[in-house]
Copies of this chain bind each other. A is one copy, B any other.
Amino acid sequence: MAPNPTNQSNSILTLNKLELRENGFKSMDEAEKLRENVLKPMDSEQLRENAHKMVDFIADYYKNIETFPVLSQVEPGYLEKLLPDSAPNHPESLQNVLDDVQTKILPGVTHWQSPDYYAYFPSNSSTAGFLGEMLSAGLNIVGFSWVTSPAATELEVIVLDWLAKMLKLPEHLLSSGQGGGVIQGTASEAILVALLAARDKVLRKVGKNSLPKLVAYASDQAHASMLKACQIAGIHPENIRLVTTDSSTNYALSPDVLGEAISKDIAAGLIPFFLSSTVGTTSSTAVDPLYALAKIAKGNEMWFHIDAAYAGSACICPEYRHYFDGVEEADSFNMNAHKWFLTNFDCSPLWVKDRSALIQSLSTKPEYLRNKASEANMVVDFKDWQIPLGRRFRSLKLWMVLRLYGLENLQCYIRNHIKLARHFEELVASDSRFEIVVPCKFSLVCFRLLPAHNDQDCGNKLNQDLLDAVNSTGKIYISHTVLSGKYILRLVVGAPLTEERHINAAWKVFQDEATVLLGGV
């Protein structure tokens, strides 16, 4: 008979000899052994002991991170074969679980923190960000209203004002005016809440039955979250204008083309209401001309959103801040501290000019959440600025990043990555088999292997094969995009551990695999 501690007062932790025997334990030793393994739901000393073990596990992971294939090389369904098909009845030891993490989970992990990770955009972990996550998980408060932990709301307001100042955002996006900042989970949520606020604002004016007439605009380089936000908000698919861009503007949205599209829609009786612009598009880090776009948006009473999810971080450096010119006119502005700003995922600050528009769309006031501070309008309740009700104490990690590194070190961090990206760009440019597709603006290099003259699909398959080849080595991980029909390789420098030696090694992987593909071996 298996040990069967069926209730708390009769648990393995408190049984005497006789009870142990009744519960199926052969000896005190056996019980002692299990007893050691059994965690109480919460106990400060058990937490201390086991969390120290976990710290060492994680520190060792970083110590050895270069030994793993960057892109996981497992096959779909691999884990099902390694784990049981139901949860255990009895507790297991932490050591067992950590062994499983090492042997079963880590092989299925794609190592975003590896210095050789160059795919998509980065997702920075840092010591400061990790410590902030620990503290937030330790306190485990749910900060939906001010009263549920005043410090969570107030620190978020303060830290987002700090960050706004670092980015030199206009005064009216700060908490002192009609606007303010809020930490969203992701840029997708940020653009969604902005779009909802814009939708409801215009519908309050023109009547809710006009929803089918609302038109939203962005470039065809805008992130897919724009399209998804429109779908969620019920914007008709045929009223979503993803304006075509090309290499003539380096894939930035052309104000002229946008203006024409808007005029045409107005003439057709439609209602333009939302314009999303991007500083640093996903495919090629294109920068839309904010100032000119803002003018169009204002002229047509449209909500003007700026998505600077990736490149926003760079604008803490004075030499990149000019990309934000025009932000003075933004109704909402978003960047992801969890991308390239050393703040562990997730942390996506959003600033709005008119917080009341957001609150009107998203607030709920059920009786069971009412409290004196909220009723008196003395406080911010961030539940009314976001989709979910509950929210983590995410400002802690951003606060710790800002304090433990400081502005100047953060600027160095960004500049170093940009320097490394330029170095990679030079390496590519020095090899005549390759071409740089768009000039490197931040830390993304868009390039490709040049096809032979008789290549029927202009090198698309060739570059797809090169992508697969380099990623299959496990030595680096990159991703791709398509620009004007061309399949392009994207290498983004942005992992905290990446150094020049990694960039040089990465380039060698491309050269070697290209040589193989081109039949040079």
Contact = CB atoms under 8 A, between A and B. Distances in A.
A149 interface: yes
Given A137-B137, A392-B346, A224 B366 contact: yes
Given A135-B58, A154-B77, A158-B80, A127 B40 contact: yes
Q: Is the interface of A mostly helix, strand, loop or mixed?
A: helix
A7 interface: yes
Q: What is the copy number of this chain in the assembly?
A: 2
A511 interface: no
Nearest to A379: B76
Interface string A195-239: 010010000000011011000000000011101100111101000
Contact of A125 (B77, B138, B378, B481): B138
Interface string A403-433: 1111111011101100000000000000000
B76 A378 contact: yes
7 contacts: A8-B416, A39-B404, A41-B124, A42-B113, A78-B150, A112-B141, A188-B390
Contacts of A224: 364-366, 369, 389
Contacts of A196: 232
A145 to B, nearest CB: 10
B189 A388 contact: yes
A76 B140 contact: no
Interface stretch (A25-33, A86-94, A266-274, A434-442): A86-94
Contacts of A517: none
B88 A407 contact: yes
Contact of A400 (B63, B97, B129): B97
A286 B481 CA distance: 51
B490 A368 contact: yes
Contact of A11 (B88, B110, B283, B409): B409
A47 interface: yes
A404 B97 contact: yes
A108 B149 contact: yes
Interface in A1-49: 4-9, 11, 38-48
B87 A127 contact: no
A361 interface: yes
B125 A130 contact: no
A79 B158 contact: yes
Contacts of A482: 367
Counting chain A residues whose Cβ lies within 8 A of the other chain, the interface size class is 35 or more
A344 B140 contact: yes
A483 to B, nearest CB: 9
A72 B151 contact: yes
Given A5-B409, A224-B364, A367-B482, A60 B44 contact: yes
Interface string A106-138: 111111110000001001111111110111011
Nearest to A62: B44
A180 interface: no
A338 B389 CA distance: 13
A234 B389 CA distance: 19
Interface stretch (A162-170, A250-258, A293-301, A327-335): A162-170
A331 B126 CA distance: 41
Interface in A345-403: 345-346, 361-362, 364-370, 372-373, 378-379, 387-390, 392, 396, 399-400, 402-403
A47 B59 contact: yes
A450 interface: no
Nearest to A45: B59
A86 B41 contact: no
Contacts of A104: 151
Given A87-B406, A406-B89, A490-B368, A150 B232 contact: no
Contacts of A490: 368
The 9 A-B residue pairs whose C-beta atoms are closest, nearest first, are A108-B151, A234-B234, A48-B59, A133-B137, A58-B138, A125-B140, A44-B62, A41-B496, A79-B154
B186 A388 contact: yes
A490 B45 CA distance: 32
A85 interface: yes
B87 A165 contact: yes
A161 B80 CA distance: 11
A244 interface: no
Given A135-B101, A283-B368, A387-B232, A51 B59 contact: yes
A47 B250 CA distance: 41
Contacts of A367: 283, 480-482
Given A131-B50, A413-B8, A78 B154 contact: yes
Contacts of A89: 406-408
Nearest to A384: B228
